[in-house]
């Protein structure tokens, strides 16, 4: 009978110990020589044999490693469970059962007491919970690591040790995927089990609840907008971070809880960088590995971690940091020293941020007539001819640079068919052919943000130039007799020029020069590419914020002021002599409009100062109201 019991515990039932699909192994009820207490003890042992049978059945279904008798096997698995992490779990589970099989052999040899079974009576139910959890919840990929890890954090040493052995086997798969990704840029993940995936992040930001638009008693300024004034740099991270060309991202739901997100992001960065280098490295002079030929050393370190019985986050993160530092330093060398990043930033500043002011002054004069009207099919060609002519006039004859720059005049999609078509200036943009490997820093999304700043700065520069032209017309006629309308006209021009000149000075000195010098200091103070990318992201976000492009109340107000200035300059250019009745009426409308918008701007700037908020708006207010003239005029200019 002991042999019958040993066979049953090994997964082979017979006539005394029978198999029932519902209850598993049980003592046959037709045995008169067994006392009920003996039957109860044997049934407790049979429960352990039932768990063993179901363990082996689970392994059989997903790996084919174990073959059992057909009289208790269920149908092939239809659960859809698959993947290399599941196979690794089954391998670890099978190795965990080996001591149990050996104990049965030892018992058969010695035919001794059954005390050995107590350990497995404690172990098997706990492991069965893990198996049933994986089956019922269809746990997949790296989520299996999380499930096994959570169940291993108990207080029973046999259960903890057994699950740690299973977890070590599963970690072996993760280390192989990490080696392929971090050392060679290969994402070996056919079943979508790894915590790195190709494609953008699926975790879209949930819409925040709408805030109440309480009125603060300031025309055009609500409470929500004032809160925006208080922190101009709260920009969505997704909009400011430079996305990679291959668009790899983290699959956060697959990341085990014992691996922090910061470590996973370093792993993502290393793999992206290695892959970018391998795929785009076509220059023989740059041949070689981004890891500086240390792949074998890093692979050996990963293998050493794989052999450890327990996962050590400290050792794991130290290795990831070592690989990341090597990659980041190599990219820094490639960017700053070999690709002349500082020179490229100077080009960006000169052309996108109007650093070459004399170039754009000449260009505005040449292109003014062709960009006043909506763009046509030939506008882009004509604009680029004018741009080349302006470059030659200011002695900008860099044959290597000009072919990389191209002005575009795209048709902007109108939100309403009733809107007037845009002028060529509104659609103007600058296209720049970024050379490898700077494309990972100056992505299309980043260049588009530079274009937004470019159009804004160019509009301010155009208005300033037109107002200066009006001043020249005024000086030509200063010897002639003037009337009351002329006084109103030239006072309005003076106030407009005062506001626009101070805005231009604020943008160029307080924003562009200040932020650009900080960017250069940060680049020179580090040898880490990630620090460079972060500094550049902050630089660009600060440009958008401090120039008020992201702050709609101020941006809209400034645009209205610039449009009024355009209208005024057109009126003056078309009426060189004294204004007639119709012109005087138009001038009166412009005076009232400019007074209203300048008052609104002053109210917005003053509200920030009154709330004791230290922001860039306060700096602009200081430029405009340095001698308190703006304040004494009641915040109204133009009258």
Query: What's the pLDDT score for residue 404?
Result: 66
pLDDT tens digits, 98-141: 888 787 777 766 665 445 556 777 788 888 888 888 888 888 88
- What does the block give as tokens for 537? 């992201």
Q: Which of 52-61, 74-83, 128-137, 295-304 has the lowest mean pLDDT?
A: 74-83
Give the start-to-end residue ranges of the domains of the chain. Answer: 2-172, 174-200+220-338, 340-434, 443-639
pLDDT tens digits, 297-356: 888 888 888 888 888 889 999 999 988 888 888 888 888 888 888 888 888 888 888 877
pLDDT tens digits, 453-487: 888 888 888 888 888 777 777 776 666 666 666 77
pLDDT tens digits, 517-541: 999 888 888 887 888 888 888 898 8
CA 99, CA 117: separation in Å to the nearest integer? 11
Instruction: Find the mean pLDDT for residues 593-607.
Output: 81
Q: Residue 156: count other Cβ atoms within 10 Å of its Cβ.
A: 12
Q: Which of 202-211, 569-578, 620-629 has the lowest mean pLDDT?
A: 202-211
| CATH architecture under which domain 443-639 falls | Up-down Bundle (1.20)
pLDDT at 247 over 60: yes
Instruction: Find the mean pLDDT for residues 596-619.
Output: 69
pLDDT tens digits, 22-40: 666 666 566 655 656 666 6
CA 440, CA 314: separation in Å to the nearest integer? 30
| CA distances for 566 relative to 80, 212, 467, angstroms | 67, 36, 9
CA 24, CA 180: separation in Å to the nearest integer? 44
Residue 117 and residue 205 in contact, taking contact as beta carbons nearer than 8 Å: no
Q: What percent of the chain has pLDDT over 70?
A: 68
- What does the block give as tokens for 138? 């269809």
pLDDT at 370 over 50: yes
Q: Provide the strand spans (E) within 370-458.
A: 405-409, 428-432
CA 626, CA 505: separation in Å to the nearest integer? 13
Query: What's the pLDDT score for residue 318?
Result: 92
pLDDT at 213 over 70: no
């Amino acid at each position: 009978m002991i042999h019958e019991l040993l066979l049953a515990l090994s997964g082979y039932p017979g006539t005394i110990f029978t198999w029932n699909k519902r209850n598993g192994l049980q003592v046959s009820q037709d045995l008169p020589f067994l006392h009920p207490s003996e039957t109860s003890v044997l049934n407790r042992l049979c429960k352990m044999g039932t768990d063993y049978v179901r363990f082996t059945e689970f392994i059989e279904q997903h790996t084919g490693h174990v073959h059992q008798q057909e009289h208790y096997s269920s149908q092939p698995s239809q659960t859809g469970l698959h993947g290399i992490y599941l196979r690794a779990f089954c391998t670890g589970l099978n190795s965990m059962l080996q001591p149990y099989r050996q104990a049965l052999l030892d018992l058969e040899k010695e035919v001794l007491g059954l005390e050995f079974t107590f350990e497995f009576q404690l172990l098997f139910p706990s492991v069965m919970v893990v198996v049933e959890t994986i089956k019922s919840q269809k746990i997949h990929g790296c989520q299996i690591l999380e499930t096994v890890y959570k169940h291993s954090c108990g207080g029973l040493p046999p259960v903890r040790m057994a699950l740690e052995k299973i977890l070590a086997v599963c970690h072996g798969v993760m280390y192989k995927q990490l080696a392929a990704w971090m050392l060679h840029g290969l994402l070996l993940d056919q079943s979508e089990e790894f915590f790195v995936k190709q494609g953008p992040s699926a975790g879209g930001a949930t819409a925040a609840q709408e805030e109440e638009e309480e009125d603060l008693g300031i025309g055009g300024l609500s409470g929500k907008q004032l809160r925006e004034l208080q922190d101009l740099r709260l920009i969505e991270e997704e909009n400011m971070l430079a996305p990679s060309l291959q668009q790899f991202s983290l699959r956060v739901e697959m990341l085990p809880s014992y691996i922090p997100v910061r470590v996973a992001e370093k792993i993502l960065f290393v793999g992206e960088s290695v892959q970018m280098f391998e795929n785009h490295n076509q220059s023989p002079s740059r041949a070689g590995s981004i890891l500086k030929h240390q792949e074998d050393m890093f692979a050996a370190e990963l293998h050493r971690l794989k052999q450890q019985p327990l996962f050590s986050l400290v050792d794991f993160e130290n290795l990831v940091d070592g690989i990341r530092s090597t990659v980041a330093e190599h990219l820094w060398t490639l960017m700053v020293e070999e690709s002349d990043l500082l020179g490229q930033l100077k080009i960006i500043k000169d052309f996108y941020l109007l650093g070459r002011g004399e170039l754009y002054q000449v260009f505005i004069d040449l292109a003014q007539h062709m960009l006043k009207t909506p763009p046509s099919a030939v506008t882009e060609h004509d604009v680029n001819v004018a741009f080349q002519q302006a470059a030659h006039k200011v002695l900008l004859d860099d044959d290597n640079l000009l072919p990389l720059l191209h002005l575009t005049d795209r048709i902007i999609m109108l939100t309403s068919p009733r809107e007037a078509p845009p002028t060529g200036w509104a659609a103007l943009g600058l296209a720049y052919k970024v050379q490898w490997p700077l494309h990972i820093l100056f992505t299309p999304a980043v260049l588009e943000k530079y274009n937004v700043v470019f159009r804004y700065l160019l509009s301010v520069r155009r208005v300033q130039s037109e107002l200066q032209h009006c001043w020249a017309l005024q000086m030509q006629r200063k010897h002639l007799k003037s009337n009351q309308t002329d006084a109103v006209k030239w006072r309005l021009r003076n106030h407009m020029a005062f506001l626009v000149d101070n805005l231009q000075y604020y943008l160029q000195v307080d924003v562009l020069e200040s932020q650009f010098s900080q960017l250069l200091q940060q680049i020179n103070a580090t040898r880490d590419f990630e620090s460079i990318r972060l500094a550049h992201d902050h630089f660009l976000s600060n440009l958008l914020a401090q120039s008020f492009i992201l702050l709609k109340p101020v941006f809209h107000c400034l645009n209205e002021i610039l449009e009024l200035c355009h209208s005024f300059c057109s009126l003056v250019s078309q009426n060189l002599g004294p204004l007639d009745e119709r012109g005087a009426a138009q001038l009166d409308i412009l005076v009232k409009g400019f007074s209203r918008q300048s008052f609104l701007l002053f109210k917005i700037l003053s509200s920030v100062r009154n709330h004791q908020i230290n922001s860039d708006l306060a700096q602009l207010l200081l430029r405009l109201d340095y001698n308190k003239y703006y304040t004494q005029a009641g915040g109204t200019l133009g009258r």
